[in-house]
């Protein structure tokens, strides 16, 4: 079944056109995978609304994606909008603009459903082992999702308002960032982590999988790649010391230095420092809270996009509307601190 999944976040909008096969396990076979940095959430933390320029950039990308979807004859389309779209006062203008260009109304999903889709996508190929708890961390532009589960699926999920764009605008505006700025960003990250640990058992994690652009970029740096190679990045397991060295360099490098790194997407240059700092702080916290059990982290190129594609194919197969939202028995607190 050929489907098209679109994930519209704070920093980028991404498209996956894929053939999804159900054969004991679900297989997602890429036809097209695209990412466009549109910075939809630019200024949202301060103004509470999308700017006209940000909407213009996003709608232009949607038009390009609509043409690709028509060309590749996708049978079904699902457009999911995440953190930035939950926060704004002019959300209806965004929804109407997307529907006009794509013919499908975007779903502005809750953080718990975003977390569930990320968990489904990240663990599809990196299946958790029996009796081991997997923590998936989806570090985005405006929010970060933490999802804990095992071989039977997701058990706990939470979304917090912490991301590379939000923290760049809030804390790390200097080039390179000053010590006071990185200290404030670290302090707020730790505050969020303490909140998360109050509602989900982070200390139970045996394996950590990081997804999304910040994590994959840090991994590309740690692997010393000459260009961005998703095949080498996907499934890479790095020890925390190696990750921390890359985190430190990316956090404190000038924007000029980061722009010359061969694997760096131009749209990430100004926000990767804050994202890297968040990722490094999360991993250090997990190492401490698990009493040293977490000593490495896996990187997955498969994330919420794959989860959207799989949920869409499953819904079409069963003739019903299905989501990857956490069951009512799971912890799905929304932290809007």
Answer yes or no: do 105 and 121 share one domain: no
Q: Is residue 320 domain-resident?
A: no
336 pLDDT above the threshold of 70? no
Answer yes or no: do 83 and 122 share one domain: no
Q: pLDDT per residue over 242-267, tens digit each?
A: 999 999 999 999 999 999 999 999 98
Q: Is residue 222 domain-resident?
A: yes
Answer yes or no: do 145 and 10 share one domain: no
Q: Please tell me the predicted confidence (pLDDT) of residue 25.
A: 66
Q: Is residue 198 domain-resident?
A: yes
Omega within 30 of 0 (cis) for the link into 206: no
Q: Is residue 331 domain-resident?
A: no
- Residue-averaged pLDDT of the chain: 88
Q: Please tell me the predicted confidence (pLDDT) of residue 128.
A: 58
Answer yes or no: do 123 and 257 share one domain: yes
Last residue of a domain, one of 62, 83, 110: 110
Q: Is residue 164 domain-resident?
A: yes
Which CATH number characterizes residue 32's domain?
Answer: 3.30.420.40
Answer yes or no: do 269 and 148 share one domain: yes
Q: Please tell me the predicted confidence (pLDDT) of residue 114.
A: 81
Place of tokens 């360099």: 249
What residues contact 184, with CB distance under 8 A and at least 6 apart? Answer: 171
Which CATH number characterizes residue 266's domain?
Answer: 3.30.420.150
Answer yes or no: do 258 and 286 share one domain: yes
Answer yes or no: do 117 and 90 share one domain: no
Pick the more confident residue, 143 or 325. 143
Which residue range(s) make up the domain with 211?
112-300
């Amino acid at each position: 079944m050929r489907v098209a999944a679109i994930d519209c976040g704070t920093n980028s909008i991404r498209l996956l056109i894929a053939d999804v096969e159900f054969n004991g396990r679900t297989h997602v076979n890429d036809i097209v995978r695209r990412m466009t940095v549109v910075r939809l959430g630019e200024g949202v933390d301060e103004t509470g609304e999308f700017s006209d320029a940000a909407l213009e950039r996003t709608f232009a990308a949607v038009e390009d994606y609509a043409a690709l979807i028509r060309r590749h004859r996708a049978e079904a389309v699902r457009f999911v909008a995440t953190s930035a779209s939950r926060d704004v006062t002019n959300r209806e203008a965004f929804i109407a603009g997307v529907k006009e260009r794509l013919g499908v109304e975007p779903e502005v999903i809750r953080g718990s459903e975003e977390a569930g889709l990320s968990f489904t996508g990240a663990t599809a190929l990196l299946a958790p082992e029996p009796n081991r708890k997997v923590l998936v961390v989806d570090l985005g532009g405006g929010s970060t999702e933490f999802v804990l589960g095992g071989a039977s699926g997701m058990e706990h999920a939470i979304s917090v308002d912490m991301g590379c764009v939000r923290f760049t605008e809030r804390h790390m505006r200097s080039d390179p960032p000053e010590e006071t700025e990185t200290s404030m960003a670290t302090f707020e990250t730790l505050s969020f982590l303490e909140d998360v640990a109050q509602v989900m058992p982070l200390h139970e994690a045996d394996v950590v999988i990081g997804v999304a652009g910040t994590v994959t970029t840090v991994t590309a740096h740690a692997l010393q790649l000459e260009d961005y190679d998703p095949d080498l990045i996907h499934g890479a397991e790095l020890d925390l010391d190696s990750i921390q060295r890359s985190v430190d360099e990316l956090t404190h490098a000038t924007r000029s230095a980061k722009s010359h790194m061969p694997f760096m997407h131009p749209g990430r240059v100004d926000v990767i420092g804050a994202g890297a700092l968040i990722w490094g702080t999360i991993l250090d916290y997990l190492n401490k809270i698990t009493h040293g059990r977490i000593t490495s982290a896996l990187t997955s190129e498969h994330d919420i996009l794959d989860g959207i594609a799989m949920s869409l194919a499953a819904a079409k197969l069963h003739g019903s509307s299905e989501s990857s939202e956490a069951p009512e028995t799971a912890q799905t607190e929304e932290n809007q601190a």
